[in-house]
Structure 1
Amino acid sequence: MRKLIVALTVPLLAALNLSAAWAMEMKTSPKAVLELFTSQGCSSCPSADEALRDWGKRDDLITIAYHVDYWNYIGWEDVFSAPKYSKLQRAYAKSFGSERVYTPQLIVNGEKDAVGSRRDDVNALVAGAELQLGVDLALEDGNLLINLSRNGAAAADATIWVVPFISAAKTAIARGENGGKTLAYSYIARNRMPIGMWHGEDTHQVELPLQDILTDRADGMAVLVQAKGAKGPGPILGAASIQK
């Protein structure tokens, strides 16, 4: 993980409401991306949410929590949930040849899954994981520069996704299976946007206005380069993240 001190321009300051400098953490050489499908209405999820928070502290892992909406009927509407995350999970299930979705499901590098609260199972998947495509990030004049380097990765038709996230938040749950508890969450996805394609070029760059991405309380983002599978999302080839 590289920590950078960056002098910010006026547009970036307006977007992030920060002081004249921002200490940022970048992860640009992870071995794995951990995507957790979770819900505030699921009694089995808090232990997986806690595990994701711990994995997110590692320099070699990028973690994202997608809060699904199909638990909302049980009496508590997850404040971070959105239909798009349930749709993404169903797309993963289809790519795995299954119709089943569940929480807490954790997917490693878009390829293999485990119950998110079973740390040993997840750690076993992470142990053999690798991301070959290089993804580097830089800030310039309030814009985010995303630089891809093939680094021997196999050529593929892949989508470049940006996932803004809230790095940490707490919610008092009033009803449902977790009613009466105040629970902590981390790396909470606030959107998932396709911003370009990679077709196997040795180098590739995308430039984005940061102020248009870090909205809805987001204080960080993950960049994922994910191949297209035959039936849905394919393997994640490379990734990076940046956060306050």
Structure 2
Amino acid sequence: MKPIQISMIAALLALLLFSAILASRSIASKSSIERTIKGDGFAVLELFTYEGCSSCPPADELLAKVQKEAGNRPVYVLTYHVDYWDRLGWKDTFSNADYSKRQYQYASKLNAQVYTPQLVVNGKTEFVGSNESATDYAINSALKGSPKSSVNLHGSLQSGKMAIDYQVTGDTDNDELVIAVVQKNAISRVKRGENEGRTLAHAQIVRQLYSFDLESAKKGQVSISLSKDFNTDGWELIGFLQDPKTRAINAATKVIF
């Protein structure tokens, strides 16, 4: 066989081997993704943000992307607008002192500082909210978990209020039922502060937050008041079981209504 033919055959074999390696890596990657999707876990992402913070828009955009790409996976996005930066010249449209308090509670349990944008996942870990790689890792890790409890929620609208029937399983004696009333999208034009002149897009804004002591009850009903502009198209309710002492979130779901 001529030398040039031998070289061509060797090159072809090398190409086939390289293609096989790439294919095996692709299959391994796909299998990993499939295992994540089929996991029993859940991920509750709580972003603490502020309209007057120049570092916050990238985090807001990332969480909006996460929400859009979540699909049918049990990934729940909540954004809380804190109020402790209001003194710097711009009052956030959605800021609430209760959300600042919630962030400080997390900081105490996680031995962390309080800052914006800060992302807390399942009440167990925190990091900078614009860190996409950390966010992806935290979501995938959470979805691979094996929760020891569960919660099902069904709501019924009643003229400005909603009655929510709940049913829980597992060890929930120490948990509270937390219900977040969430506005899916909003646009704000910031006139002062670090983001002066910018038009900001917000996603998954927590407008109201309620908590109820379950004690030993495995099922029951609670009632919450709703914002005047609440509607079933642009809003949703997310509920989760949280240990008020450790701040760990042990189960989560959306309210079906």
Q: Same fold (TM over 0.5)?
A: yes
| Cα RMSD after superposing both structures | 2.3
Q: What are the residue-to-residue correspondences of 1:129-140 with 2, within 5 Å?
A: 129=142, 130=145, 131-140=147-156
SS in 1 for 2:104: helix
- Determine if contact 1:190/1:216 at 8 Å carries over to the other structure: no
- Determine if contact 2:155/2:165 at 8 Å carries over to the other structure: no
Which structure has more helix as a fraction of its residues? 2
- Determine if contact 1:30/1:239 at 8 Å carries over to the other structure: no
Unaligned segments of structure 1, at least 5 residues: 1-28
> Is 1:205 paired with 2:220?
yes
Which of 45, 54, 58 pairs up with 2:56?
A: 45
- Determine if contact 2:153/2:239 at 8 Å carries over to the other structure: no
Task: State the TM-score, normalizing by the size of structure 2.
Answer: 0.72
- Determine if contact 1:137/1:144 at 8 Å carries over to the other structure: no
Unaligned segments of structure 2, at least 5 residues: 1-39
Residue in 1 aligned with 2:91? 77
Residue in 1 aligned with 2:119? 106
Q: Distance in 2 between matches of 1:77 and 1:216?
A: 21
Which structure has more strand as a fraction of its residues? 1
Q: Which amino acid aligns with 1:205?
A: G
Which of 175, 181, 190 pairs up with 1:173?
A: 190
Q: Distance in 2 between matches of 1:48 and 1:33?
A: 15
SS in 1 for 2:65: helix
Max Rg structure = 2
User: Which has the bigger relative contact order, CA under 8 A and spacing at least 6?
Assistant: 1
SS in 1 for 2:187: strand
Give 1:105 deviation, angstroms.
0.4
Identity of aligned residues (%): 32
Between Structure 1 and Structure 2, how many residues are aligned?
205
Give 1:118 deviation, angstroms.
0.4
Task: State the TM-score, normalizing by the size of structure 1.
Answer: 0.76
Give 1:55 deviation, angstroms.
1.6
Q: Distance in 2 between matches of 1:177 and 1:138?
A: 42
Residue in 2 aligned with 1:26? none
Give 1:133 deviation, angstroms.
2.4
Residue in 2 aligned with 1:35? 46
> Is 1:120 paired with 2:133?
yes
Q: Which amino acid aligns with 2:208?
A: N
Give 1:199 deviation, angstroms.
4.2
SS in 1 for 2:102: helix
- Determine if contact 2:181/2:237 at 8 Å carries over to the other structure: yes
